[in-house]
Amino acid sequence: MFALVDCNNFFVSCERVFNPGLEGKPVIVLSNNDGCVISRSNEAKQMGIPMGSPFFKIRALVKQNRVAVFSANFNLYGDMSWRVMEALRQFDVSVEVYSIDEAFLDASSIRPDTLAPYGEALQRKIKRWTGIPVSVGIAKTKTLAKVANEIAKKSQKSQGVLNLASPQYHAFALSKLPVAEVWGVGYRISKSLENSNIQTALQLRDAPDHWILKRYSITLLRTVQELRGIPCFPLTLHTAPRQSISCSRSFGTLVETLPDLKEAVATYVARAAEKLRQDRLLAKQLTVYIRTSHFRQEPQYANAVTMALPVATDCSHELIQVAARGLEQIYQQGYRYYKARVTLTELSPTTQSQQNLFDTVDRAKTQRLMKTLDQLNNQWGNGTLKYAAEGLKPQWLMKREHRSPAYTTHWTELPLVKT
Amino acid sequence: MASVSPGHIAPVDEFPLFLCRVSAGFPSPAEEYREGSLNLNRYVIRHPAATFFVRAAGDSMLGAGIHPEDLLVVDRSLEPADGRVVVAAVNGELTVKRLSLQRGKAFLLPENKTYPPLEISSALELQIWGVVTFVLHAL
């Protein structure tokens, strides 16, 4: 038995916890660079603001209706997500964190006649502990739990909790769900199914096995089996070890010169190296990728270069230097760059580091330097200590004009409470 | 050609409850009593997922020992009971007051004679945000 707990309009809900005056009002959250809408309150949805809409398209609507706008505050959302998952763990069952705002719980130890009250208890605890409203869907398989959650979220009657353990309601529930909204059915598969006259989840459930296997894949067949109530996807609790660490952002303003590009890339390398040290890993390979914007009518250029490191390292300045050399190889003048990505690969745990006889770097001294850098940045806030290569007042920094404070992760940005 | 460097001894950064000198060949009688370090986080934060830090802005709670700019530890998991200092959302704004639930009436009380008590009626939009458990005041 599975319970899927899913936060309602998660990013907006996070903002509302620290701005209670926004309850009942239209609120939206924008992606990095204030590009497009990535979260909407129910009131904003009702106003017709589509998910993913570019901000410039709805500016007039937003102004007219006094919609509250926030730039994505991932410091806050990441921390709130951790809190929601920790609160779920208080229930003493296995929790699989599926995404930033969803988790599957193992509900097999709960008495069947208490499943709905259990769902309500989950909802109440999360709301009380974190302020985040959630919906709960309960069923024998993950796919059905997702269906239950979808219905619970939208139906007034269910108040956000729906127990679909009993098969007698399945036919009705599945007949109301478009096939495109079934977990695991993507856009292309849904279009293909619709062409074969399979419009609803119910019709998909009742499609013959051999037909599904022949036209699609074993994965879709498993999804169909799950719709029938046969569990095929178990709870996965152990995450596989990381294969790569990336840092990638688009630029606030287009970048043309090599020095500016080096600054941006240095910042991304520093950020990726921080994540590397946090996970206690070393990298032996670094890839730099740059490209122009394909939204614009101008000459296009994209390229990447992969650099090998003589010794696996987690040292920021070593990685920055290597990235700069790589950038020199792929940079072409005359283009306006829109985005860069830095990826660290060939990762190994720090406990397995190997020495190289010809290593010219004082590893012990570097370790102490990195540790001091991380400690100071943790204590005083990100960016307290930076490499000069990252630039002092860069123009290419992400636009985040409407960002709320990092209420739970920076001492200098705590909520102020009227006393 | 790199030189071979000797093993590096890491500095101690946690303070054990007991620090004792060990003379060669004679084990310290205090060694058995070492219990581990004092962790302020664990003392102050009982429910990490439900605990938030906020900063006080104002002087209406001086009588409770809360000064402007003090750090408040707020635990959302605790029951907002009569007599507890709470953070409440009043008309959309976060505020700190003492909760009074007496004889069927609810009040938000300041701890400063220059401020009036606030009666909680249905007209007032009120939501309890969390219970204040500790205040950290820098001297």
User: What pLDDT digit, counting tens, does each position of A311-356 carry?
Assistant: 889 999 899 999 999 999 999 999 999 899 999 999 988 876 666 6
Nearest residue in chain A measured CA to CA from B88? A417
Q: Which distant-in-sequence residues (6+ apart) come within 8 Å of A5 by Cβ?
A: A84, A88, A102, A103, A104, A105, A122, A126, A134, A135, A136
Is the pLDDT at B58 greater than 50? The verdict is yes
CB contact under 8 A, B49 and A83: yes
Among A19, A379, A411, A417, most B C-beta atoms within 10 A, so best to mutate, is: A417
Give me the mean pLDDT over the B73-77 stretch: 98
> What would the pLDDT profile of A352-410 be if each residue is shown by its tens digit?
666 666 666 677 777 788 888 877 776 666 666 777 777 666 666 666 778 899 899 88
Distance from CA of B120 to the nearest CA of A (A): 17
- Crossing angle of helices A142-154 and A218-227, rounded to 10°: 60
The candidate with the shortest Cα–Cα distance to A267, out of A391, A399, A395, is A391
B97 catalytic, yes or no?
Answer: yes
Q: Do B47 and A129 touch (CB under 8 A)?
A: yes
Measured CB to CB, residues of chain B less than 8 Å from chain A are: 1-2, 5, 8, 47-50, 52-61, 66, 68, 71-72, 76-77, 87, 89, 91-96, 127, 129
Which residue type is seen at A366? T
Quick check: A351 contacting B, CB < 8 Å?
Answer: no
Q: Which residues of A touch B56 (CB under 8 A)?
A: 417, 419
What number of CA atoms fall less than 13 Å from residue A311's CA on the CB side?
17
Residue B131 is predicted with a pLDDT of 98
Structure confidence by residue, pLDDT tens digits, A74-112: 989 999 999 999 999 999 889 999 999 999 999 999 999
Per-residue confidence (pLDDT) for residue B89, from 0 to 100: 93
User: What's the rounded Cα separation, in Å, for the pair A248 and A33?
Assistant: 12
φ, ψ at B40 (rounded to 5°): -65, -35
Is A22 an 8 Å CB contact of chain B? yes
DSSP 8-state class, residue A351: G
| Residue in this structure with the two tokens 């700019």, named with its chain if needed | B69
Whether residues B8 and A408 touch (CB distance < 8 A) is answered with no
Give CA torsion, residues A169, A170, A173, A179, to 10 deg: 180
Enumerate residues 392 to 411 of chain A having a beta carbon within 8 A of any beta carbon in chain B. 407-408
Contacts of A87 in chain B (CB under 8 A): 49-50
Question: What pLDDT is stored for residue B25 in this prediction?
Answer: 63
A244-268 b/e with 16+ CB inside 10 Å = b? ebebebbbbebbeeeebbbbbbbbb
Question: Across A150-154, B16-20, B120-124, which has the greatest mean pLDDT?
Answer: A150-154
Task: Out of B60, B100, B105, B122, pick the active-site residue.
Answer: B60
Tokens at A316, concatenated: 């920021």
- B60 a catalytic residue: yes
pLDDT of residue A104: 96
pLDDT tens figures, A290-299: 999 877 788 8
Residue A250 distance to chain B (closest CA, Å): 33
CB contact under 8 A, A415 and B129: no
The DSSP string of B39-57 is -HHHHH-SSGGGEEEEEEE
**Segment among A92-96, A279-283, A405-409, B3-7 with least mean pLDDT:** B3-7
ipTM of the complex: 0.78
Calpha distance A240→A237 (Å, rounded): 10
CB distance A299 to A349 below 8 Å: no
Q: Answer whether A87 sits within 8 Å of B50, measured CB to CB.
A: yes
